[in-house]
Amino acid sequence: MMSFVLFGKRFDYKDKKLHDLISNTRNHINNVLSRTSQIINTFPIILKFPFLWKMHCKDTLCLQSFVEEQIQSHKENRDKPRDFIDFFLQKIKKEEGNGDSIFCDTSLHMFITGLLAAGTDTTTSTLKYCLARIAQFPEIQAKVQQEIDDVTGSQRPPGLSDRPHLPYTNAVIHELQRHLDLAPTGFYHALSKDTEFQGFTLHKGTRVIPYLSSVLFDPTQWETPDEFNPGHFLDEKGQFRAKPAFMAFSAGKRECLGVSLARMEIFLFFSALLQKFTFCPTTGQRLSPRPPIPTKFHFILTSQIKAVLRSSKAA
C-alpha cells in the first residue's frame, strides 16, 4: 500500500526489490534507534570519522539510494501526476525562487524515508501486538467478531465506510494502541522561537521531547489507566468517542506524517483478520498481560499465538 501511494506501483511479493526494501527499511530503523546512534547524537563529532559513518549507516545509505532511484525515474517521466512523488515534484517547481520554502529535494527524500519507515514496520509491529493482546481477552474478541458479523457478514471484508458502524471494534483498536505505547517519547520537536513556559525561559532551538506515556496512562484522563478497558473510548450510548489524551502518534500539529494512513491500515487489517480468525494462545501456553522486560532492545516481543478459522463461511 505504501509503495503504491509513494511510487504509484505495487511490487510483486516475490520481487527481490521489495524484500530488499523491507530489509533495508527495518535495518534503517534499527540503526536510528540503536545505542550507537544515541552515542552519535550525544557526540556528533564521531561523524567526522568516515569509516564509522559508512559502517553504521550501510542500510540507511542503501535505502537512500533506492529512494533516489525512484525520484530520478519520476523526474524523467513527468506526465500526469500519479503519486506522492509526482505531486511533491510539482510543488517544488512552483516554489522555485522561494528561499523559505520547505519543498526541495532534501525534504522529499526525508518525507519518503520517514513514510517508508512508518509504513513498513510501525503498522506491522502494532498489528502483531494487537493480535497477541486480543488473544488474552476471548470475551472482548468475541464481541468484536459479533459486531463485525452484524455489520458486514462473513463474506464481505470490512471497509472504511463501515468504521462508523463498528464503534466497539474501533474502541478496542484504540485501547490496544493506548496500551501498546509504541513510541513513548514520540517525535522530537524544537522551538522555533524563544518561549516562556511555566516560569521557565526556553530558547529558540531547544529540543522538546513529548513524554506520551505520561498522558496515555494518566489517571486523571482514564478511568482505569492500567487496565485494558475499551470503555475508555465509548460513550454512554456505546458509540465511539475520541479522547484528546489519546496520543499514540505523537503530539501537536506535527505528529506522525502518516497518521491517517496508519489508522486506516490498522482498522482494515485488524477487522479483516478477526472476521476470519479467532486468535488464541498455542496449546499449553499462558500469555502474560505484562511479560518481563527484556534486557535487549526489541520492537515488539514475538508471542506464540495461533489463528483458528472461525467457520467455513468465513473462509
Nearest-angstrom CA–CA distance, 10 and 2:
9
DSSP H helical ranges for the chain: 2-7, 16-33, 35-42, 50-56, 58-76, 84-94, 105-117, 123-134, 138-152, 167-180, 213-216, 259-276
> Of the candidates 80, 89, 123, 85, which has an alpha carbon nearest to the alpha carbon of residue 260?
123
Q: What are phi and psi of 248, to 5 degrees?
A: -80, -15
CA distances from 57 to 18, 34, 61, 117, 180 (A): 20, 11, 6, 15, 29
Q: Which residue has the cell 520537536?
A: 189
Nearest-angstrom CA–CA distance, 250 and 259:
10
62 in a labelled binding site: no
Cell of 202: 526556553
Reduced to 3 DSSP states, what percent helix, strand and coil does the chain have, rounded to the nearest 5? 55, 10, 40
**β-bridge pairing 207-208 and 277-281:** unpaired
Cell of 121: 514496520
Handedness of CA 219, 220, 221, 223 (dihedral sign): positive
SS3 54: helix
Handedness of CA 119, 125, 127, 128 (dihedral sign): positive
Q: What are phi and psi of 257, to 5 degrees?
A: -65, -35
SS3 309: strand
Residue list for the binding site for heme: 256
Name the binding residues: 256
